[in-house]
Amino acid sequence: MKPVVVDILNWSDWAVLFYFLAINTSYAALILLAAAEFYRRAETASYAGREDDLVNPFTPGVTVIMPAYNEEAVIVPAVQAMLSLRYPRLEVVVVLDGSKDNTFGVLEEAFGLVEVPRLIPSDIPTREAPKAVFVPRGGGPLVVVLKDNSGRADSLNVGVNLATMDLVCFVDADSILDSEALLNVVKPFVDDPERVVATGGVIRAVNGCAVVDGRVVRVGMPRGWIARIQVVEYLRAFLLGRTGWSKIGSLLIISGAFGMFRREVMLEVGGLDPSCIGEDAELVSRLHRYLRDNKRSYRIVFVSEPVSWTEVPATLKVLARQRRRWARGLLEVLWRHRVMLFNPRYGRIGLLAFPWFLLFELAAPFIEVLGLPLVVLGLAFGVVNVYFAVLFAVAAFGYGLALSLASLAIEELSFHRYPDWRDLRAAGVAALIENFWYRQLSALWGLQGIFAALRRQQAVWGEMTRSGFGPEPTRAEPAR
Amino acid sequence: MTAVLVVDDDADIRDLVAFKLAQAGYEVDRAADGAGALAAVARRRPDLAILDVTMPGMSGIDLCRSLRADPETASVLVLLLTARAQERDVEAGFAAGADDYVVKPFSPRELVSRVEALLARARR
Amino acid sequence: MKVPLAVIWAAIGVDGFLLISFTTLVVASRALRLKRERTAARRLAPLRPLLLEVASEDDPQAGSLRRLQSLGPDDWEALVPAAAGLLGKLRGSSKQQIASLLDAHGSTARAYGDLFARRATRRARAAEMIGSLGHEELAPRLLRLLEDKRHDVRLVAARALGQLRSADASAGLIAAAGERSPIPRGVLGHALLRIGHRAVPELTRALSSPDWRRRSLAADLLGRLGALSAAEQLAGLASDDPALSVRVGAVEALGRFGLPEWLGPLAGAAGRKNPSRLREAAVEALSGVATPEAVSVLGSLTGDGDIRVGAKAAVSLASLGPLGRAALERVLSADLDDEEKARAAAQASGALALVAAGGR
């Protein structure tokens, strides 16, 4: 065994060094792109005309679609907050996905709902048809739909069928939106209506923030380190990473907690796929694929202005579940749309974004998790000396830490949403300790997610390959 | 003394309107949002309220509706101040029980004249 | 181990350098920002009441105005955001007062010079400033910016022209809707709406433009402006224009006019072989006409195979008063064996329930 380990180690140290260098440098490039974009937005903010959008009768109408499953505790303030967003033409469709609790009852009482018989167009085929439609007595731009449980994606599709506005916006019942959220996310549609087909809003952690009447009134760092590290991670990976991807027209993920789409285009691609775990990411990849197949000139834009606040997992157990699901979702998307991978027909999506996610998101857990025992073995056999191993780790993690701090610096320069000096210090410390256990655990969870996906999907894949693997789902599996 | 409540999330407009009304001899209270406005109303019931329509949280129209719903404040005169001038918006304002409607950009002088006219009509 | 230690040390050195620089950047930028904000707030505090006094025109002997006009550059800079902000929200002589303040500090002259500055952000800011100051005589210069090479500058120029409400800008704004120019229709439309009735002659002329984008924008706007003089031409476009969006715009316009004599083209546009977008617009427009003939056309559409068209027709009827409601009740009692009639009955009961609930 010893000689093999020696061989591998001798061969691998350069490889691992390059891998770390490449992954972090790609992140550095995204951060630089994001910084350039933030600078541009700061420069142009004073004449962006956002107030104008609020009074312009041509500003497109938006249907906010909020699926809800067992949300009794939060649904009423969530709907009220949604109805009071600053936006001129708004309709809110709440899709009750067969809740087992009293979600409907509390809504009925709060808004005085009355049933209206309604024929619903099946623009997108759905698994469950709506059972009943309600509107508030006395009017108001609210529609509540009751249906049997069929998962989040199917509920959103039902909402799209009911929507009457040109733009549809997907939100979660437990997310808190800034009152400017819709204006911010509609902006790209207003400025470039012919090309923009979808926009995604940034998600930030609500843990530690003061919330009054469904609005974030004061931003702060959460208490626990698990959540704090995620604040830094969200800044780096979501705020800056996605801004960077968007800048080069290769945004692959729009968070399910806040995304806006042109309804017409949603119908063209057949809505969300309920058989996917990461249905939001899958939708975006499908849009890219469809629009590029049809040689359309389009844009999918990420909006970095604060938009949506969501509770991030505060315990390892919940976090682990989330990360396993993310990894599974990513694998699924890459597999399903593998035709785009390294395919020049799909431009930057095929040659840049897809390979990046494959090499650096999907493969990173393997390198990180398998690297560790290798190093331990090396130390045990005396091939690796401790001094070298420690230095190597410091160099690799130091780069990652520098990137986290760069993200903090950019946040501070552009949005400075954390008013307290103590919050800044906490964020700095979180960026540091992230390297000692959080990254390793994330990698492990990622790996678990991938293996789970492989086990579960083998049968499905066989079937799909035979059926020619069209863009349409062939087999159902509850998403929730 | 006639009391007027000015509700606007834009501090410059709020203070400008309040200043102008104070100069015209009214007792003026100010609030920055719906919740603050309801608190101010509870402290002193105004004869007239000037409400901005597009505020974060509770909009001026919601606020107007809740003033109308409470018998204590149902007779407070309401003047909506808003940048939205579409027919539909004006309709929604009056449907919520507003007495008058002033569109931004507005003239402070004209606003005071309207306030005076509304109060005079109510006194008759 | 093949990687030389020196390489690792070099990497650590670079990391350390980056760590220190970013940490310093965070701390320094925050400290500087807080200091700047405090200074600005301190300078602004005594000046703001004066500004409000000027804006409210309760300024005895223009004392406050004179004081603000003679402010030093630092104090003035602290006041600019508030002054510029008020400018866009006020009208009439109050606005004139603030504008004269900005003039006194050379903002107008600077904006005038910056309209053709090399930096796009300066051009855009200048256009924005001229728009909110309301210098109508500068409209021709702004018109040239509609063809600026930068998208954001073109957008600002269009918005500013709307703020100036200069009728001379109408032709330029309509031309900017053409195929070559990518200024969004919503931005141009809003600007033209602000210009209002004085844009009607140019808009009417644009109805016969060879470019469908211009025709479509013009049709839509003429409807919103209530330009009845264009009704006949619009009726022609509603039936015959080759571009769908022009037909939709013309149909919407006729609906806004609500004149019974144009029922024919509207009923035609609602016909089954037309695209849904046009049909939905036509249904909406028919409810604007609201004559017994319109009611009967709407009644025949409630059972339409296109559910959205049927629903719109039913809701229109339900909100049309006794005549419309009577039509719906007739549909309700029809025999349910026929698929279309069953659909119509369902739409009718839905619409009646919706209107009874107070929606729409």
pLDDT tens-digit readout, C167-191: 999 999 999 998 776 799 999 999 9
pLDDT band, residue C335 (cuts 50/70/90): low
Residues C31-46 have pLDDT tens digits of 999 999 999 999 999 9
Name, in order, each residue with C-beta under 8 angstroms of B11's C-beta and a sequence gap of 6 or more.
B32
More confident residue, A71 or A4: A71
Looking at the complex, does the CB of residue A55 fall below 8 Å from at least one CB of chain B?
yes
Residue C248 structure tokens: 């939709």
Which of A362-376, C254-268, C269-283 has the least mean pLDDT?
A: A362-376
Question: How far is the C-alpha of C252 from the C-alpha of C237, rounded, in Å?
Answer: 11
Residue A473 has pLDDT above 60, yes or no: no
For residue C18, tell me if it sits in a domain: no
For residue C129, tell me if it sits in a domain: yes
Residue A392 has pLDDT above 90, yes or no: no
Chain C residues in contact with A44 (beta carbon < 8 A): 121, 124, 152
Which of A259-268, A269-278, A331-340, C342-351 has the least mean pLDDT?
A: C342-351
Specify the pLDDT at position A465: 38
Looking at the complex, does the CB of residue C88 fall below 8 Å from at least one CB of chain B?
yes
CATH code of the domain containing C137 = 1.25.10
- What percent of chain C stands above pLDDT 70? 97
A381 CB neighbour count, 10 Å cutoff: 14
Assign A32 to helix, strand or coil. Answer: helix
Residue B87 has pLDDT above 60, yes or no: yes
* Strand partners for A135: A114
Helix (H) or strand (E) holding A315: none
Of A55, A179, A213, nearest to B85 by CB-CB distance is A55
Q: Any idea what the Cα angle at residue A381 is, between residues A378 and A386, rounded to 5°? A: 55
Exposure string for C44-64, b = 16+ CB within 10 A, e = fewer: beebbebbbbbbbbbbeeeeb
If contacts are CB pairs under 8 Å, which of residues 3-62 in chain C contact chain B? 48-49, 52-53, 55-58
Residues A89-140 have pLDDT tens digits of 999 999 999 999 999 999 999 999 999 988 888 899 999 989 999 999 877 8
Residue A417 has pLDDT above 60, yes or no: yes
Structure-derived torsion over alpha carbons of residues C221, C224, C230, C233, reported in degrees to the nearest 10: 70
Amino acid making up residue C328: L
Specify the pLDDT at position C29: 94
A143: left (phi over 0), alpha (psi -120 to 50) or beta: beta
The mean pLDDT value for C6-32 works out to 93
Specify the pLDDT at position A386: 82
State the sign of the Cα–Cα–Cα–Cα dihedral A79, A81, A84, A85: negative
Of A52, A394, A428, nearest to C159 by CB-CB distance is A52
Residue A89 structure tokens: 């033409």
Exposure string for B31-66, b = 16+ CB within 10 A, e = fewer: bbbbebbbebbeeeebbbbbbbbbbbbbbbbbbbbb
Cβ-defined contact of A55 to B84 (cutoff 8 Å): yes
Angle between helices C120-133 and C151-164 (to 10 degrees): 10
Residue A402 has pLDDT above 90, yes or no: yes
Chain B residues in contact with C48 (beta carbon < 8 A): 15
Report the residue of chain A nearest C31, measured CA to CA: A421
Per the prediction, chain A carries an average pLDDT of 88
CATH assignment of A22-359, among 3.40.640.10, 3.30.9.60, 3.30.1280.10, 3.90.550.10: 3.90.550.10
* Positions of E strands within A255-297: 258-262
User: Cβ distance C85 to B12 under 8 Å?
Assistant: yes
Q: Which of A116-120, A345-349, B91-95 has the highest average model confidence (pLDDT)?
A: A345-349
Specify the pLDDT at position A369: 81
Residue A139 structure tokens: 């009017």
Of C53, C57, C88, nearest to B109 by CB-CB distance is C57
Q: Which DSSP state fits A465? A: H
The mean pLDDT value for A156-185 works out to 93
Pick the closest to residue A402 from B58, C204, C26, B39 (CA basis). Answer: C26
Exposure string for A272-305, b = 16+ CB within 10 A, e = fewer: bbbbbbbbbbbbbbbbbbbbbeeeeebbbbbbbb
Identify the residue among C17, C18, C133, C276 best suited for mutation to test binding to A, counting A beta carbons within 10 A and taking the highest: C18
Chain B residues in contact with C90 (beta carbon < 8 A): 105-108
Pick the closest to residue A269 from A286, A250, A252 (CA basis). Answer: A286
Pick the closest to residue B7 from B52, B59, B40 (CA basis). Answer: B52
pLDDT band, residue A2 (cuts 50/70/90): low
State the sign of the Cα–Cα–Cα–Cα dihedral C146, C147, C148, C154: positive
Residue A467 has pLDDT above 60, yes or no: no
For residue C116, tell me if it sits in a domain: yes
Identify the residue among A51, A53, A55 best suited for mutation to test binding to B, counting B beta carbons within 10 A and taking the highest: A55
Global pTM value: 0.91
pLDDT band, residue C336 (cuts 50/70/90): low
Of B54, B85, B89, nearest to A86 by CB-CB distance is B54
Residue A248 has pLDDT above 60, yes or no: yes
Question: How far is the C-alpha of A236 from the C-alpha of A206, rounded, in Å?
Answer: 16
Helix (H) or strand (E) holding A303: strand A299-310
Cβ-defined contact of C90 to B23 (cutoff 8 Å): no
Chain B residues in contact with C81 (beta carbon < 8 A): none
Cβ-defined contact of A215 to B86 (cutoff 8 Å): no
pLDDT band, residue A395 (cuts 50/70/90): confident
Per the prediction, chain C carries an average pLDDT of 90
If contacts are CB pairs under 8 Å, which of residues 438-457 in chain A contact chain C? none
Question: How far is the C-alpha of C254 from the C-alpha of C261, rounded, in Å?
Answer: 10
Specify the pLDDT at position A340: 96
Residues C108-148 have pLDDT tens digits of 889 889 998 999 999 999 999 999 888 888 899 999 999 99
Specify the pLDDT at position A140: 81
Which residue range is the domain that position B87 belongs to?
Answer: 3-123
Specify the pLDDT at position A459: 46
Specify the pLDDT at position A292: 96
Name, in order, each residue with C-beta under 8 angstroms of C239's C-beta and a sequence gap of 6 or more.
C247, C265, C268, C269
**Number of domains present in the structure of chain C:** 1
The mean pLDDT value for A369-395 works out to 80
If contacts are CB pairs under 8 Å, which of residues 268-307 in chain A contact chain C? none
Specify the pLDDT at position A5: 67
The mean pLDDT value for C295-312 works out to 91
- Contacts across the A-B interface (CB distance below 8 Å): 26
Per the prediction, chain B carries an average pLDDT of 90
Of C55, C88, C91, nearest to B16 by CB-CB distance is C55
- DSSP-assigned letters across all residues of A205-249: E-TT-EEETTEEEE----SSHHHHHHHHHIIIIIIIIIHHHHHTT
Question: How far is the C-alpha of A63 from the C-alpha of A160, rounded, in Å?
Answer: 8
Report the residue of chain C nearest B88, measured CA to CA: C360
Distances (CA, A) of C106 to A434, C99, C101, C123: 53, 11, 9, 16
Of C7, C186, C358, nearest to A139 by CB-CB distance is C358
Q: How many residues does chain C have?
A: 360
User: Cβ distance A205 to A417 under 8 Å?
Assistant: no
User: Cβ distance A396 to A20 under 8 Å?
Assistant: yes
Cβ-defined contact of C19 to A405 (cutoff 8 Å): yes
pLDDT band, residue C359 (cuts 50/70/90): low
Q: What is the bridge-based pairing of β-strands A215-218 and B100-103?
A: unpaired
Q: Which DSSP state fits A341? A: T
The mean pLDDT value for A142-157 works out to 94
Cβ-defined contact of B16 to C82 (cutoff 8 Å): no
Looking at the complex, does the CB of residue A54 fall below 8 Å from at least one CB of chain B?
yes
Residue C251 structure tokens: 């149909």
For residue C112, tell me if it sits in a domain: yes
Radius of gyration of chain C (CA): 30
Q: Any idea what the Cα angle at residue A440 is, between residues A437 and A441, rounded to 5°? A: 85
Q: Which chains touch A (3 or more CB pairs under 8 A)?
A: B, C
Report the residue of chain C nearest B22, measured CA to CA: C58
Q: Which DSSP state fits A362? A: I
Specify the pLDDT at position A461: 44
The mean pLDDT value for C85-98 works out to 88
User: Cβ distance A71 to A97 under 8 Å?
Assistant: no
Q: Which of A329-333, A351-355, A440-444 has the highest average model confidence (pLDDT)?
A: A351-355
Specify the pLDDT at position A475: 31
**Number of domains present in the structure of chain B:** 1
Of C52, C86, C94, nearest to B107 by CB-CB distance is C94
The mean pLDDT value for B70-81 works out to 92
Which residue range is the domain that position C155 belongs to?
Answer: 73-90+97-164
Distances (CA, A) of C250 to A165, A205, C243, C284: 20, 48, 11, 12
Specify the pLDDT at position C1: 54
pLDDT band, residue A370 (cuts 50/70/90): confident
CATH code of the domain containing B37 = 3.40.50.2300
Residue A166 has pLDDT above 80, yes or no: yes
Residues A306-316 have pLDDT tens digits of 788 999 999 99
The mean pLDDT value for C245-261 works out to 94
Specify the pLDDT at position A306: 74
ipTM of the complex: 0.92
A422 CB neighbour count, 10 Å cutoff: 10
Backbone angles phi, psi at B102, to 5 degrees: -120, 130
Which of A274-278, A381-385, B49-53, C48-52 has the least mean pLDDT?
A: A381-385
Residues A193-232 have pLDDT tens digits of 999 999 999 989 999 999 887 788 889 999 999 999 999 9
